[in-house]
Amino acid sequence: MKSPLSQTPSDRNPLGDISVLYVSVLLRAAEAEGVNVQELAHRFQLPEQTLTSSAARISIPRFMRLGHAAIQACGNTALGLRMGALTRPVDAGLAGLAGECASTAGSAIQTLVRYSLLTSRNSRGTPKAKPEKRMLEFYSIRPYNPFNYFVVDSVLSAWTQFLRTVSGRWDVLERVSIEYPSTGMDELFEAWFSCPVQFGAAKNSITVRQDIWRQDTLQVQSAMHEKLTQLCDVEMREIQRGWTTGDRVKSLLTPLFRGETPSLETIASKLGVTPWTLQRQLASENTGFRELMDETRKQLARDYIRETETSLSEIAWLLGFSNPAALHKAYRRWFEISPGEHRKQFRASP
């Protein structure tokens, strides 16, 4: 059986996957809120063997449904903040441990973000660190709905908790920006983050205080930091080892679909080759750009219909179709059933 590190993108859920390390944090937070997590884990087919495996991952849609179910069970729509409060450096795996022993808090959080691919992969994008602004950015996961608010909350609060842990300080942030609109809990969020929080912002981000960014970490150990980052680098290379040109094209397509159809020229430019070279490389793998685009859209469309409550108009936009009718036509061609009827079938299945 392939490990998550050796799987190619075609083996994985097209929307992305996440380590069960984060699933354990979610269940820990739910349990703290009084939820019967054994029943919840059983319901989502998460046996102890899976939850205790360092290599196991689940799909992003499954993680979102699990979080939504936990929120419904406990009634706390701010469960993501609870997750952040209960997050430890080790819950981010090697990246968390490497960051914990970095020289400064700024270096520590940059390490955590740099190696985020070791524990999560999302087709929407990757987190970014902007040291010149002391800012960490989490990509957009629009359209927002009750199934994914908690994801943004949990990531931003986990980063904040990580900074608190490595610095030993509570007031670590200057401000927080959250892309989705206010859900009426502004005061709770500002109290938790201990700084101004802007909802309906242009991006999801936290800005770290200058003195915290430069502060020595409590567990600074340069030799161990170097050793752990070397291990992280090895695993990062392992993740991408063996990817075909087609795999690389598909990994680039999804974030570019939104409202438009990416061109061959755009993808070739991102891969650093000419359009002709890209066509030749794909032909040598017995595929083509149009085929890969159609295959990627098919996989994503099925998972949006099966795993989310996203409307057809939103799915059409996410997949770069000009209108819902174009999505409907393509969906019938792929599955010989309308997307609406297919969703009903999925809902009727266990």
pLDDT tens digits, residue range 282-311? 999 999 999 999 999 999 999 889 878 889
Nearest to 320 by CA among 267, 272, 279: 267
Answer yes or no: pTM beyond 0.85: no
Per-residue pLDDT, averaged over 330-340, amounts to 95
**pLDDT averaged over every residue in the chain:** 91
> If you count them, how many residues does the chain have?
350
Separation between Cα atoms, residue 32 and residue 27, nearest integer Å? 9
Contact present, 201 and 178 (Cβ < 8 Å): yes
pLDDT band at 350 (very low <50, low <70, confident <90, very high): low
245-348 has CATH 1.10.10.10 classification: no
Contact present, 267 and 252 (Cβ < 8 Å): yes
Which residue is it, tokens 């969906």?
331
**H or E segment and range at residue 128:** strand 128-130
Task: List, for residues 28-76, the tens digit of each pLDDT value.
Answer: 999 999 999 999 999 998 888 788 877 788 889 889 999 999 999 999 9
Per-residue pLDDT for 338 more than 70?
yes
Contact present, 141 and 148 (Cβ < 8 Å): yes
SS3 assignment, position 102? coil
Question: ∠ CA 116-117-122 to the nearest 5 degrees?
Answer: 105
Task: List, for residues 239-249, the tens digit of each pLDDT value.
Answer: 767 678 888 88
* pLDDT (0 to 100) of residue 59: 86
Q: Rounded to the nearest 10 degrees, how much is the dihedral formed by the CA atoms of 317, 323, 326, 332? A: 70
Comparing 176 with 255, which gets the higher pLDDT?
176
Domain residue ranges of the chain, discontinuous segments joined by +: 9-239, 245-348
